[in-house]
Amino acid sequence: MNTRIPDDPQFNKYYTKHCKYLKLKGLQPKTIDAYARAIRRIGNYFDSQLDNLTSDQLLDYFHDLLDSLSWSAVKLDLYGLKFFYTNVLKKTWEDIPLIKPPKTTRIPDIVTIEQANQIFSATGKVSYRVFFFTIYSLGLRLGEGIKLTIGDIDSAHMRVHIRDAKGNKDRLVPLPEKTLHVLKNFWRLHSNISISWGRLYFVTNHWIPAFAGMTETYTQSSFPQRRESRAITPTY
């Protein structure tokens, strides 16, 4: 479905207001993007007329949406529309019992230490090899690793402060000696050039901003390529 901004003055006015409310509510960037995209998509589907959508219209929309996108996307569009009605249109939102994803229980693939080492060794670029090792050894989400900064690394107490993680919560994680050693060696190898991943590397006794070039999109796309290139398969 089309997610471009519809060419309609009234819709654009609503959409601009919607984006301002999303920012002021302190939502996570991914949530803001999802809720904004939802209104663009719904606006295109209904020819920019979102003021008084009926249950039948929403039934048609979410039915068609599920043909091309996942249950997760369907739920995000519903939540985005609810946010729009409540904050922009100032209308009371009536819960619509349309969406009920099927219950599923999945066992995640567990990457062994040996498989992780294969992935690291298959990664040609040293900066990304260090990055993958760092997030693996610290148990970080991708976005958490990219956002690491100076004050997050506490080498005195051997811990890392993860800020503004999922649910806008902070947490502390142990800093393994091996991880600290790898990062120090990485700096020694590249202290004379501009390094890019995340926002930090080690200089003498201080963490300073540097890795500004690595993006979440690239690492998400490159990691499966590393795994596929070495034909790494789960162990059962």
Q: Which of 111, 145, 108 is nearest to 128 (CA)?
A: 145
Q: Are 114 and 174 in contact (CB under 8 A)?
A: no
pLDDT tens digits along 124-151? 777 788 888 888 899 998 888 888 776 7
What structural domains and CATH numbers belong to the chain?
Answer: 9-88 (1.10.150), 113-229 (1.10.443.10)
If you average pLDDT over residues 152-171, what whole number do you get? 86
pLDDT tens digits along 212-221? 455 565 555 5
Predicted confidence band at 192 (pLDDT cuts at 50, 70, 90)? Answer: very low
pLDDT tens digits along 202-212? 333 334 344 44
Q: Is the pTM of this model over 0.75?
A: no
